[in-house]
Amino acid sequence: MPTQLPDTWGVPTQASDPAALAELDRAVISLVSMRGDPEAEAARAAADDGELLLATIAQAHLDLYSTSDEGIARARRLLDSVEPRIASAPPRERLHFDAATAWADGRWELAARTLDEALVRHPRDLLALRVAQDLYYFLGDARDLRDVTARVIGAWTEDLPGWSWVQGIYAFGLEEAGDYRRAEAAARAALAENPRDIWASHALAHVFEMEGRQEEGLAFLGSTVADWQDSYFANHNWIHKALYHIELGDFDALVPLYDDQIRGARPVSWVPLVDAAAALWRLSLFGVDVRDRAQSLVDAVVELVRTPIYIFNDWHALMVFALAGRGDLVEWLLASNRDAAPGTTNYDVLQIVGLDLLDGFAAFSAGDYEAAVDYLTAARPRSNLIGGSHAQRDAIDMTLLAAAARLGDEELVRALLSERTERKPSTRPAAEALIGANLVAAC
């Protein structure tokens, strides 16, 4: 008979085998620590205890992170396998099932809100917290990126296992909400207990980026690399190192950093490809020839881009195609997004801002700088809806500034430069270098 057993954090979970539940907890730890193999651990837990429905649902969550057709299909099969037993399952399992189902159906906001409900019932549900914050990141919802943790933080005392991870999760939410002082304090508290918490390191790297503290950021990442380089998220911290070098005008360091760390021998999945695309696009804006490197990514990106699922990924795919000189693939990607099926969060975002964003980057790559300025000016105020972080979406501002320079619109260049440097004075040298590189390109 299935019973309710407490997990590592005291949350009741339907299970018959304590050892299998412990294996599921290891999968959750692997997910929040961004190490190991959470998919394999969740699969073992499900195989060892047929009553541990949450293990199967956790596998579905993990498959959905792929934002790919294959991942969604795998998640649906897993959810179908437990669906007949969900009606009689406890509330925790039902809410996770409903959230995963909504996510698989492309209703990402509903998925996040459903996990929020799970957290109201069980504020130490670490799986719900991790997945919910990631969904709010995908949605570009800075308020709930922060407040999903704020709503449960009181239930996490320092004596609980996982307290430091919750601090790291909170740190990133605080940073994206613009509360840099509290974000830094939370990140440092997390790292004081667990220096290997890469999400806390990542949150602190964001603070340094947003406050223009590039030298501190380089020193921090350089001194802590041994703590996070074995994480499957490590390539993203290398991107932050690249951003610091860009704003310091140290372009000589960027190409080897890309070759050795950001791209390297990364797997064919969205996170490393997004980071690679973002790095190459920024390098190109400063006049670096990246065509060969972009061409080497095309096949991997084509393998992932089939059905429009997440505009943030497709935006980066377009960068790769444009940089590689594959206008045919740019047009195909634009057409597939224009024809996206309604009824999903992604479709709604495409209508509000996504198509303008894609058209703006496509126009820039085609040399139509007037159209690029028009599209990107329209997209910018609503760009948070595409997801990602402020630092990632800064590529929009950089490209708009480059387009204005190539267009020769001195008044717009002056206004955008003033806006950028008033917001973050340390960006002036890099912004002026960007303007200069694109004035030259326009000649």
Q: How many whole angstroms separate alpha carbon 106 and alpha carbon 101? A: 9
Residue 99 included in any domain: yes
Structure tokens at 261: 């760390």
Instruction: Give the helix ranges, DSSP H, for 49-90.
Output: 53-64, 69-86
Instruction: Give the alpha-carbon dihedral of 32, 119, 121, 75, to 10 degrees.
Output: -70
In a domain, 228, yes or no: no
The residue range of the domain holding 31 is: 1-134
The tens-digit pLDDT sequence of the chain (443 residues) is 568 999 999 999 999 999 999 999 999 999 999 999 999 999 999 999 999 999 999 999 999 999 999 999 999 999 999 999 999 999 999 999 999 999 999 999 999 999 999 999 999 999 999 999 999 999 999 999 999 999 999 999 999 999 999 999 999 999 999 999 999 999 999 999 999 999 999 999 999 999 999 999 999 999 999 999 999 999 899 999 999 999 888 888 888 899 988 886 566 689 999 999 999 999 999 999 999 999 999 999 999 998 999 999 999 999 999 999 999 999 999 999 999 989 999 999 999 999 999 999 999 999 999 999 999 999 999 999 999 999 999 999 999 999 999 999 999 999 999 999 999 999 999 999 999 999 876 66
Instruction: List all residues 6 or more positions away from 167 whose beta carbon is below 8 Å from its beta carbon.
Output: 186, 187, 189, 190, 193, 200
Instruction: Report the CATH number at residue 57.
Output: 1.25.40
Enter the tokens of residue 281: 């696009």
Contact 205, 237 (CB under 8 A): yes
With respect to residue 400, please indicate whether it lies within any of the assigned structural domains.
yes
Tokens of 371: 């159209």
Structural domain contains residue 237: no
Task: Tell me how many domains the chain contains.
Answer: 2
For 10, what's the count of Cα atoms within 13 Å in the CB-facing half-sphere?
Answer: 11
Positive/negative CA dihedral, 369, 372, 378, 379: negative
Residue 231 lies in a domain: no
Q: Give φ, ψ of 16 to 5 degrees.
A: -110, -25
